[in-house]
Amino acid sequence: RSLDLAKAELEIEATRMKSLGAQLAQLGVDTANLAASRNIQSAIPIRAPLDGYLTALEVNLGKLVHPDDLLFEIVDNRHLHLELQVYAQDLPILASGQAIACTAPGRNDTLWAKVHQIGKSIDPESRTTMVHGHFDHEPVPLIPGTYLSAWVYTGEEEVWVVPQEAVVQEDGRSYVFERKASGFVRREVTTGLAQEGLIALVDWPANDDLTLAVKGAYYLNGHLGELSGE
């Protein structure tokens, strides 16, 4: 009976030893070397779960720490994600895989990403949902936490566009100036989306021979007087 109890206790201790060994291995301790040398280590290395940059240090030498204490903050910027706040009314036109164009303060280039995941809840105060995106190319030349301006391309449509300075606004209407043999003629147009210095002309006739003034629309409008469109 004593032998049976001793065997049972031995099995319990062996299991406990394996469990403690697994915990030590997670902490970076070489358990095989520890078992072979039977030496007690007075210090062990702390291994980070990822590579990156140290952004916060919450401990100092001699400080007593507990298992749930925060010691360091590490940021791995090799794989940055994009988090967008999108208004609830725009959610029906969003879908995974749509292209995202991003611009950052102080940068003249455009960074491209794709919609990866769309949030399932709406913030009651801002009435927005988080949309998660992945950049097309990595590493991304940004610092984590950078605020971006982003446009999600929800669909494609061919439209005629002109520089925004080619369109003049007057009394709530939009006009462009068409070049004729006798000079310039003002034509009323319906404008659409304006972006990156260009503005769309809605329902514009597909005429390759048409020539428009792309600069100086306000100058022409002031000098041509009351010209009627065709």
| Every domain range in the chain assigned CATH 2.40.30.170 | 82-153
174, β-bridge pairs: 169, 189
SS3 16: helix
Q: Are 95 and 71 in contact (CB under 8 A)?
A: no
CA-CA distance, 125 to 222, in Å (whole number)? 47
Q: What is the model's pLDDT at position 213? A: 85
Give me the mean pLDDT over the 4-9 stretch.
84
Average pLDDT over residues 79-97: 91
Q: Residue 229 pLDDT more than 50? A: no
Evaluate if residue 149 carries a pLDDT over 80.
yes
Q: Is residue 134 classed exposed, middle or buried when 0-12, 13-18 and 19+ CB atoms within 10 A define those classes?
A: middle
Coil/strand/helix, residue 24: helix
Share of the chain above pLDDT 90, in %: 22
Q: Where in the chain is CATH 2.40.420.20?
A: 160-224
How much is the average pLDDT of 120-133? Answer: 93
Count of CA atoms in the C-beta half-sphere (13 A) of 102: 22
Query: Which CATH number is correct for 82-153, 2.40.30.130, 2.60.40.1660, 1.10.10.60, 2.40.30.170?
Result: 2.40.30.170
| 3.30.230.10, 2.40.420.20, 3.40.640.10, 2.70.180.20: CATH of 160-224 | 2.40.420.20
* Contact predicate 217/165, CB 8 Å: yes
Cβ atoms of 87 and 95 within 8 Å: the answer is: no
The share of the chain scoring above pLDDT 70, in percent, equals 90
